[in-house]
């Protein structure tokens, strides 16, 4: 069960209304890397977790925290929208705050949201569940989570730079600190998974590597016609999984020759012709007087 605590994890009142910044703040609510994405992603990762209880509990701990972050940000959006002037341009032409509103706010936060936050990004695009990842493989998910927390912290840091409001900056400093913890948390969880022997690199470790084309498993291919990349850790020495050695291939060559597709049946009206002999006797949908689509195309 979930319980709602009316106290926010952290909050500081903004110094003044700022509907333009309220729109910008929407990005870390309903954007691809926003709090709605991590909250829902972590919830499904936790609910679907089949590993040891410590992992499931940890995932749901952070998932629940992220729900609280959505509420904090929604509250800040509401605060930033409160007190600004709204009305016809003629009557507010001399009002600097309203001029800012007219110049950059999201009108849906007024018209649809009634001065409230929206489940959307900074351009008004609605949040989508396509942003979340819950694969059932903890290592794959935890690696994605590191990326999500990194992108989220990056966007909050940029938002911090976009405002001079000390209250808002103080508020954002809390989110920055929690993203610092969460990046470290997921990295620690990855380390623990590997130490527990539950999952290893390459992921998934349950697929037999002898079924790969092992001759290319640790080759770095120079596909950009430059050679600076050969200086990197990825181009020489032992692989990170300890199962091979990196090899730098300066001029990679295809392992197979060229291929062509055979012409499509004429009833599909594509480019190219099918030999008459190949067409003879091909059954049609609906018999001889059918609509011209081959049964074998649909079967």
Q: How confident is the model at residue 28 (pLDDT cuts 50, 70, 90)?
A: very high
* Residue 281 C-beta-side C-alpha neighbours within 13 Å: 2
- pLDDT (tens digit per residue) in 140-180: 999 999 999 999 999 999 999 999 999 999 999 999 999 99
Q: How confident is the model at residue 89 (pLDDT cuts 50, 70, 90)?
A: low
Compute the distance between CA of residue 206 and CA of residue 210 in angstroms, rounded to an integer.
12
b/e burial code for range 216-228 (CB count within 10 A of at least 16 → b): eebebebeeeeee
CA nearest to 263, candidates 272, 254, 276, 275: 272
This prediction has a pTM of: 0.83
The helix (run of H) or strand (run of E) holding residue 245 is: strand 245-249
Please give the distance of CA 20 from its chain centroid, rounded to a whole number. Answer: 25
pLDDT at residue 90 is higher than 50:
no
CA nearest to 279, candidates 292, 298, 261, 260: 292
- In order of start, what are the domains of the chain with their CATH numbers? 19-195 (1.20.1260.10), 208-277 (3.30.1530.10)
User: What is the SS3 assignment for 113?
Assistant: coil
Where would I find the beta strands (DSSP E) of 217-277? 219-221, 237-238, 245-249
CA nearest to 58, candidates 69, 40, 45: 45
- Bridge partners (DSSP) of residue 248 are 220
Here the tokens at position 276 are 């008459």
- pLDDT (tens digit per residue) in 208-237: 999 999 999 999 999 998 999 999 999 999
Least confident span in 96-100, 153-157, 181-185, 213-217: 96-100
CA nearest to 127, candidates 40, 4, 21, 24: 40
């Amino acid at each position: 069960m979930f319980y709602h605590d009316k106290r926010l994890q952290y909050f500081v009142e903004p110094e003044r209304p700022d509907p333009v910044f309220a729109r910008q703040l929407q990005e870390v609510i309903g954007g691809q890397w926003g709090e709605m994405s991590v909250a829902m992603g972590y919830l499904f990762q936790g609910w679907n977790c089949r590993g040891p209880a410590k992992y499931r509990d940890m995932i749901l701990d952070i998932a629940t925290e992220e729900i609280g972050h959505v509420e904090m940000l929604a509250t800040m959006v509401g605060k930033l929208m409160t007190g600004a002037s709204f009305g016809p341009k003629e009557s507010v032409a001399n009002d600097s705050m309203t001029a800012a509103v007219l110049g950059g706010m999201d009108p849906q936060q007024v018209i649809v949201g009634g001065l409230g936050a929206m489940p959307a990004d900074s351009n008004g695009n609605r949040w989508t569940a396509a942003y979340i990842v819950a694969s059932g493989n903890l290592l794959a998910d935890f690696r994605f989570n590191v990326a999500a927390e990194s992108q989220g912290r990056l966007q909050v840091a940029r938002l911090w730079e976009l405002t001079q409001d000390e209250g808002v900056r103080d508020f954002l400093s809390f989110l920055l600190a929690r993203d610092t913890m969460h990046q470290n948390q997921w990295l620690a969880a990855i380390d623990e998974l590997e130490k527990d022997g539950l999952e290893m690199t390459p992921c998934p470790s349950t697929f037999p590597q002898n079924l790969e084309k092992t001759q290319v498993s640790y080759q770095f291919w120079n596909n950009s016609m430059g050679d600076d990349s050969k200086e990197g850790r990825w181009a020489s020495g032992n692989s990170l999984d300890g199962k091979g050695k990196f090899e730098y291939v300066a001029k990679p060559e295809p392992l197979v020759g060229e291929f062509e597709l055979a012409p499509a049946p004429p009833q599909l009206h594509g480019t190219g012709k099918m030999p008459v002999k190949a067409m003879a006797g091909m059954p049609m949908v609906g018999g001889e007087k059918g609509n011209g689509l081959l049964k074998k195309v649909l079967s």
